[in-house]
Amino acid sequence: MIDTKQRDALVDFFRQRVLPLGSSVSQHPRPPGGQPPLPDPGSLYHERFGERPTARSLEIDLSDRGNISRALEAHWQGTPLEGLGKALLRLAKRFPRGEEKADVSSDVYEMF
């Protein structure tokens, strides 16, 4: 459950920071420089080119608020989402940790 102030903050964030991004950002971002062309133009697969996970790829520092904010900012650097990391962490201050979501609808589970 959220109170009125929390709801208002969520609505403001949604309308002021998220909606202006528009539908142009709704797809998975391509890496800088773009991806090589698909080997089969008739295919709808996205290529990952036999990519292997590395020890480095598992390391993300989300140990505290500052590091979470920095990690998000680094992830979104140079994209239309740049700046949202800090803003989200500011918004999170209004939501003290409590009971986790256990009863949201199953549709929202899938999405969120």
Partner 1 sequence: MSQRPVYVLGISAFYHDSAAALVCDGQVVAAAQEERFTRKKHDPRFPVHAINACLEAAEIEAEELAGAVFYENPLLSLDRILRSVAGAGEAALPSWLEGLPGWLRTKLFFEELLREELGQEIPVLYSEHHLSHAASAFYPSPYDEAAILTIDGVGEWATTTLAEGDADGLRVHQEIRFPHSLGLLYSAFTQYCGFRVNSGEYKLMGLAPYGEPIYAERIRDHLIDLREDGSYELAMDHFAFVAGETMTNDLFHGLFEGPPRERESRIRKKDADLAASIQAVTEEAVLCMARHLRKHTGCRNLVMAGGVALNCVANGKLLREGIFEKLWIQPAAGDAGGALGAAYVGSHVYFDVPRVDAPAPGRDRQRGSYLGPAYSNEEVRSFLDLHDLPYEVVSDDERARETASALATGQVVGYMVGRTEFGPRSLGARSILGDPRSTETQSVMNLKIKFRESFRPFAPSVLLEASGEFFDLEIESPYMLLVAPVKEEIRLPVASDAGAEDEDNLIAQVNQKRSSLPAITHVDYSARVQTVDGVDKPDYHAVIREFQELTGVGCVVNSSFNVRGEPMVLSPWDAYKCFMRTDMDVLVVENFLLRKTEQPKFEDHENWQEEYELD
Asked if 35 interacts with partner 1 (CB under 8 A), we say no
The tokens for 41 are: 């133009």
Nearest distance, CB of residue 33 and partner 1, angstroms? 18
The tokens for 61 are: 């520092």
Alpha carbons 51 and 55: distance in angstroms, whole number: 13
Tell me, what amino acid is at 49? Answer: F
Interface positions with partner 1 (CB under 8 A): 2, 6-7, 10-11, 14, 18-19, 21-23, 25-29, 40, 42-55, 58-60, 62-64, 68, 71-72, 75-76, 81, 84, 88-89, 91-92, 94-98, 100-102, 104-112
